[in-house]
Amino acid sequence: MKLNYFIIFFTSLVMISSGYIIDYGPVVKATKGAIWPHPKSQASSVNFNTIRPTVFNFDIVGSTCDILEKALERYKNIILIQLRKVRFRVTNTPLDNKWRNVPEYLGHIDSVKIDLKTKCEKNPYLGMDESYKITISQSKGTIEAYSIWGMLRGVESFSQLLYVAPDARSLVINETQVVDEPRFPHRGLLVDTSRHFVSMPVLEQILDGMAYNKLNVFHWHIVDDHSFPYQSIKYPELTQGAFHESMIYSQKDVARIIEYARLRGIRVMPEFDTPGHTRSWGASHPELLTKCGGPYTGKLGPINPIIDSNYDFLFNLFEEIGEVFPDLFVHLGGDEVGFECWETNQDIIDYMKTFNITSFANLEEFYIQKLIDKISRLDKLTSVVWQEVYTNGARLPKGTLVHIWTGDQKKLLSRVTKDKLPALLSTCWYLDHLSTGGDWVKFYNCDPHNFPGTDEQKKLVIGGEACIRWGEVVDDSNIIQRIFPRVCATAEKLWSQKEITNVDAAMKRLEEHYCRMRHRNINAQPPSGPGLCL
């Protein structure tokens, strides 16, 4: 045994001496003032300006509105805090202005012009204009955009161009021009608040982190088997299925999240998954669910698809959802329906024989078809469904989004888009699938257009979502660390141009972005190994 320990110890020494550990210090040397996600076009020079946060201001020269004014207030605070936190940590740095006495130093920028060229829109939407332009020259700076949503992205990028001066007493920004726009219009994050309740402050923190990564869809998987925390207006009794009376999202809470997201250019897309994942609905409305037989006698299963009144109930609920949530899209779910209960319910078996429904997959198709037909009468709403609804053969109205989450994503993307249906991709971006450190790289290496198909087919892939789904092992204590910075990889793949694929370069930028998020109170975990954040 002692010999074995000696061999392990000696082998470790050989590894260290032979170059496995090359040098002290961070494994990844972070960039300074690099934008995440990588912009479409950027031209920079070594010439630089300084910014004094205590006197810096944004100068609105175009249109304005509450969204813009609140954003500028937030970012002024972010810029001020960025320097304060570094000063707090670097208390013994001597005042040294020698670094300014170089030809590359251009001077101070005390204000940046904010040129919003059109009136503000009220709510974000699919396909909104998120393009912007930043110009930084000698003692001057301008951010231009033709929509409020593009201006939000531009101000975020401007804040990322700033880095701390060597004496930790001002911020530095290089001479640069950025012209940027996203590659995909739908760049989302799914959060499950049913397996564990996620508090309002943490949900707001998640939305902040999304804005820092230019993600624009908060997919709120708000209810599921384990709890029903949404407080309905029409059916308030549904919260009997919540974990606890204190673990409920009131209408006031929902409105607060929608508004918080709106001010950051983020859509809130709710999901009420049926016919499976509905056990919590049965706490107040057991008549909605299937009564199981055989070995499952006494238990309740998925929503019973043969009861007509169930569809009226669902129509009323989704009508309310369409009024509460301003987004045009609602996710109907449709995944992972267990057939064990349906198989043991004699009424369902008899119904299937009467109407020549030959399989339980076809029965699920029958249910989804009736639900979609009902929902389509609500002109305001457009449906999103999980891929099983499509693969089971439901007749989907034009424009229904098919959300791909498992299986062979290349084949499914090719098949869905060949049928002229728009698609979302999540298969390769499951944040609850943990592996060794630096696993963000596997997310970074996934591209939504990597499937056989025509250019027209690829245009039908409108983007994708990272998923912290399911939430069995995340709650307030760890959900932020599970999401960030791993979701940053998804954000860049959905924003940046297809040719941005260099992992080594991304690693250096992500190291800086991780520290940036930490400075902004997003408690992200380290992305790539040993290092530090000042």
**Digit-coded pLDDT (tens) for 159-186:** 999 999 887 788 999 999 999 999 999 9
What pLDDT does 24 receive? Answer: 81
Compute the average pLDDT of residues 296-303.
94
CB 194 within 8 A of CB 242: no
CA distance 217 to 211: 10
Instruction: Tell whether 526 is covered by a domain.
Output: no
Which band of pLDDT confidence, cut at 50, 70 and 90, is reported for residue 75? very high
**Residue from 371, 377, 425 nearest 402 by CA:** 425
Instruction: Tell whether 16 is covered by a domain.
Output: no
Of the residues 180, 209, 227, the one at which a domain ends: 180
CA distance 31 to 511: 7
Which band of pLDDT confidence, cut at 50, 70 and 90, is reported for residue 394? confident
**Residue from 100, 151, 110 nearest 128 by CA:** 151
Question: In the chain, what is the straight-line distance between the N-terminal and C-terminal CA atoms, in Å?
Answer: 44
Same domain flag for 214 and 243 = yes
Q: Are strands 300-303 and 132-137 parallel, antiparallel or unpaired?
A: unpaired
Which band of pLDDT confidence, cut at 50, 70 and 90, is reported for residue 534? confident
CATH of the domain at 174: 3.30.379.10
Instruction: Tell whether 22 is covered by a domain.
Output: no
Same domain flag for 117 and 204 = no
CA distance 501 to 96: 39
CA distance 65 to 161: 25
Instruction: Tell whether 353 is covered by a domain.
Output: no
Same domain flag for 307 and 243 = yes
Instruction: Tell whether 439 is covered by a domain.
Output: yes
Out of 48-62, 164-178, 200-214, 322-336, give the one with best mean pLDDT.
200-214
Of the residues 180, 211, 243, the one at which a domain ends: 180
The H or E element spanning position 207 is helix 200-212
Same domain flag for 201 and 82 = no
What pLDDT does 375 receive? Answer: 86
What pLDDT does 53 receive? Answer: 86
CB 148 within 8 A of CB 120: yes
**Residue from 512, 492, 504, 523 nearest 215 by CA:** 492
Residue 267 has pLDDT above 80, yes or no: yes
What pLDDT does 94 receive? Answer: 58
CA distance 284 to 76: 48
Same domain flag for 154 and 271 = no
Same domain flag for 320 and 366 = yes
Same domain flag for 433 and 481 = yes
Structure confidence by residue, pLDDT tens digits, 84-122: 765 555 555 555 677 778 889 999 999 999 999 999 999
Same domain flag for 386 and 332 = yes
| Helix, strand or coil, per DSSP, at residue 522 | coil
CB 424 within 8 A of CB 463: yes
Choose, from 336, 340, 388, 492, the residue flagged as catalytic.
336
Q: Which residue type sits at 488?
A: C
State which residues form the domain around 94.
Answer: 41-180
CATH of the domain at 329: 3.20.20.80
Compute the average pLDDT of residues 331-346.
92
Write the CB contacts of 38 (distance below 8 Å, at least 6 apart in sequence): 492, 495, 496, 497, 500, 506, 509
Compute the average pLDDT of residues 424-449.
88
DSSP bridge partners of 289: 303
Q: Are strands 300-303 and 289-291 parallel, antiparallel or unpaired?
A: antiparallel
Instruction: Tell whether 516 is covered by a domain.
Output: yes
Compute the average pLDDT of residues 428-443.
82
What pLDDT does 99 receive? Answer: 74
Peptide bond into 485 cis (omega under 30): yes
Q: Are strands 217-221 and 163-164 parallel, antiparallel or unpaired?
A: unpaired
Same domain flag for 175 and 202 = no
Number of structural domains found in the chain:
2
Residue 12 has pLDDT above 90, yes or no: no
Q: Which residue has the higher pLDDT, 473 or 146?
A: 146
Which band of pLDDT confidence, cut at 50, 70 and 90, is reported for residue 3? very low
Q: Which residue has the higher pLDDT, 119 or 432?
A: 119
Q: Interhelix angle for 251-262 vs 200-212, to 10°?
A: 20
Of the residues 180, 195, 222, the one at which a domain ends: 180
Same domain flag for 209 and 131 = no
336 is catalytic: yes
What pLDDT does 5 receive? Answer: 38
Same domain flag for 145 and 200 = no
What pLDDT does 436 receive? Answer: 60
Same domain flag for 117 and 193 = no
What pLDDT does 285 receive? Answer: 98
**Residue from 37, 32, 29 nearest 500 by CA:** 37
Residue 6 has pLDDT above 60, yes or no: no
Q: Read off the tokens for 407.
A: 């299986």
What is the rounded average pLDDT for all residues in the chain? 91
Compute the average pLDDT of residues 268-286.
97
Q: Are strands 382-386 and 401-404 parallel, antiparallel or unpaired?
A: parallel
